[in-house]
Amino acid sequence: MKARIEADLPFYFGPGRELFGFYHPAPAASGTAVLLCPPLGAEQIRCHRLYRQLAHGLAEAGFPVLRFDYYGTGDSAGRSRDVDWARCLADVATAATELRARSGAQRVLAFGTRLGANAALDATDAVLAGVVAWDAIADGAALVSELDRMQDALKVDLNRFDQARPELDVRLEWQGFETTEHLRTQLSGVGLPPLGPRTAWLMSKASDAALERADGQESAAEAIDVEPRWDDIDRLEMAILSHPLIDAVKRRLREMA
Amino acid sequence: MHEQAFRFGSSRHLVGIVGLPPVIDHGVGVVLLNAGMVYRIGPFRLHVDLARRLNALGYPTLRFDQSTIGDSGAGGKLLARPEQVVADVGEAMDLLHQQTGCRRFVLFGLCSGAQNAHSVAHADPRVVGAFFLDGYGHRTLGQRLRHYLPRLMKASVWRQWITRKHAAPQVRPPEPAFVVEPLPGKVVGGQLADMLARGLKLDFVYSGGVSRYFNHVRQFRECFGRLADHAGVSVSYFQESDHTYVLSGDRQRLLDHVAQWMGRHFPVTRPG
């Protein structure tokens, strides 16, 4: 196990080497590799550990894995206010190409969380053979409203601040990350695509739209309860960890491979 | 931006990102330690923004994950956590030296990162300066008076106290995710005096997010006495900010503060 972790490689890739990635080679590589698409904002940091554990588990199961950060997120180049949804989709495609080149795999499956699931589903240029989507966003406008509501609550949270900050404009940032009108507009239009790659749906709370889509694709949605919840501002810095989720993702990816 | 990712350390168990300025003057490098369990990018990407700001000013940086945090694995030797921290940061300084030639280092640590930076700064002679954000400090009589006296004047507080006596007990909010376990004040003060005697420059920054134990810039003197007068000590209290600098404006102000402090104490001869 330790020797394999040492083989995991952090690196920069893509045009201008602007994207940060972490490649996990598989000891016995199959013809299928897995791309892990992170969520955005505070959710990306909260899921970092979970993605690392998942990557190790998948590599042990024979899948080469690439984790990566979109432009303007994580260790990749760009400022947080530079995050652009179209660029995120392009980065998924760039990462899929990098994964094919490094692993030699012909087929690439993806796992994504929240907006990371939408990015995998929407990135047609990535030519993904299948996606495991956890809590994909069915209604982007509702997500934007929810993030605004959380920011409104956060700025007057006296468990966090010594004095409330009611004067701050909630439209300028969401839970630690600057945002722009452009990104707000882009995310408001995010939803589940009418046609996409073969998809397995995992949900940590009821989502009617996603459930309908899952039924439409004749693929049962699987409920995974994970704490803390995405909208819990008291635990904004707390990692989200779940072995049941990791087991479910591995099982679903093995079924697709 | 010129950044390189590394797996390093005697057991190749550590992962970090070296940030290079356009021109390296072999002066001082800055090492950013994990804030609690948050991986190397820092709370809300604070460490990425700070590293790139410092690179633009001419300072090389390394943001990295200590053993078993973020992307780093366990070290090859069986060490107690404090010894492991000193070993990890020592190997981080080795890497930054190999990549940039700098031999002197400033550490940046928030919360448990401040605690770790304190341990390393005390133990490793290569450290010439440190930022301790919401690090050591303890409640004092002054802190209690500043906390309770204004509240006693407010009718709303009395009203709340009386109604609470008759109401069902409230659910306590969750404990903060970041907590610094206190060392005895005398021990901390003694170690700080050792560092200052070695010529280290130390910057203490406290936020409003830790007003439960620190609530005024004057409190540093209440905690550590005459150390507050030492020329190598700077103390700031950012009352508006929370513990993890969740608001971008607060982060920007912190970055400005760090940049100014570095320029004052460790000026770059050939700016990037």
In B62-139, which ranges are continuous DSSP H helix?
81-100, 112-123
Residue closest to A61 by CA, chosen among A25, A105, A21, A11: A25
* CA-based nearest residue to B135, from B203, B60, B194: B203
Domains assigned to chain B: 3-138+201-265 (3.40.50.1820)
Residues A177, A80 contacting (CB under 8 angstroms): yes
Nearest Cα of chain B lies from the Cα of A42 at a distance, in angstroms, of 7
Instruction: Note whether B125 contacts A: Cβ–Cβ < 8 A.
Output: no
Residues 187 through 246 of chain B touching chain A, CB cutoff 8 Å: 208-209, 211, 215, 239-240, 242-244, 246
> Closest approach of chain B CAs to the CA of A237, in angstroms?
7
**A165: in domain:** no
DSSP for residue B160: H
Q: What is the pLDDT of residue B53?
A: 98
- Residues of chain B positioned with their CB less than 8 A from the CB of A159: 173
Q: State the smallest CA–CA distance between residue B73 and chain A in angstroms.
A: 8
pTM of the model: 0.92
Interface contact A178, partner B, CB < 8 A: yes
pLDDT for A48-81, tens place per residue?
999 999 999 999 999 999 999 999 999 999 999 9
Task: Grade residue A218 by pLDDT with cuts at 50, 70 and 90.
Answer: very low
In a domain, A77, yes or no: yes
Q: Which residues contact B131 (CB under 8 A, 6 or more apart)?
A: B106, B107, B108, B109, B114, B117, B203, B205, B258, B261
The answer to whether B59 and B265 are in contact (CB under 8 A) is no
The answer to whether residue A46 is domain-embedded is yes
Over 80: is that where the pLDDT of A34 sits?
yes
Instruction: Count CB neighbours of B225 within 10 A.
Output: 12
| A203 belongs to a structural domain | yes
Non-local (6+) Cβ contacts of B249 within 8 A are: A168
All residues of chain B having their beta carbon less than 8 Å from the beta carbon of residue A68 are none
Asked if A237 and A90 count as a contact pair (C-beta separation under 8 A), the reply is no
In this predicted structure, what is the pLDDT of residue B24?
83
The answer to whether residue A142 is domain-embedded is: no
Q: Domain tally for chain A?
A: 1
- As a whole number of angstroms, the distance between CA B117 and CA B242 comes to 20
Q: Give the DSSP H/E element, type plus range, for residue A63.
A: none
- The 10s digit of each residue's pLDDT in B54-93 is 999 999 999 999 999 999 999 888 888 889 999 999 999 9
- The answer to which of B121-130, B150-159, B257-266 has the lowest mean pLDDT is B150-159
Residue A23: inside a domain, yes or no?
A: yes
Tens digit of pLDDT for each residue in A121-158?
Answer: 999 999 999 999 999 999 999 999 999 999 999 999 99
Q: Specify the residue for token string 């002197």.
A: B104
Smallest CA–CA distance from B250 into chain A, residue: A176
From A75, A160, A163, residue closest to B246, measured CB to CB? A160
B81-86 long-range contacts (CB < 8 A, ≥24 apart) are: B82/B119, B85/B116, B85/B119, B85/B120, B86/B119, B86/B120, B86/B123, B86/B124
CB atoms within 10 A of CB B217: 15
Q: Tokens 């495991």, residue? A: A132
Q: A-chain residues within 8 Å CB-CB of B246?
A: 154, 160, 175-176, 236
Mutate to test the interface with B, among A170, A227, A237 (most CBs of B within 10 A): A237
CB of B17 less than 8 A from some CB of A:
yes
ipTM: 0.93
Quick check: is A114 in a domain?
Answer: yes
**Residue A75 counted as domain residue:** yes
B206 to each of B1, B209, B216, B234, how far by Cα in Å?
30, 8, 9, 11
How far apart (Å, rounded) are the C-alpha atoms in residues B43 and B28?
A: 24
Domain residues for the domain of A83 are 2-137+195-251
CA distance A30 to chain B (A): 25
Contacts of B62 in chain A (CB under 8 A): none
pLDDT digits (tens, 9 = 90+) for B161-213: 777 766 666 555 554 444 555 678 889 999 999 999 999 999 999 999 999 89
Given CB atoms, is B77 within the 8 Å cutoff of chain A?
no
* CATH number of the domain to which A133 belongs: 3.40.50.1820
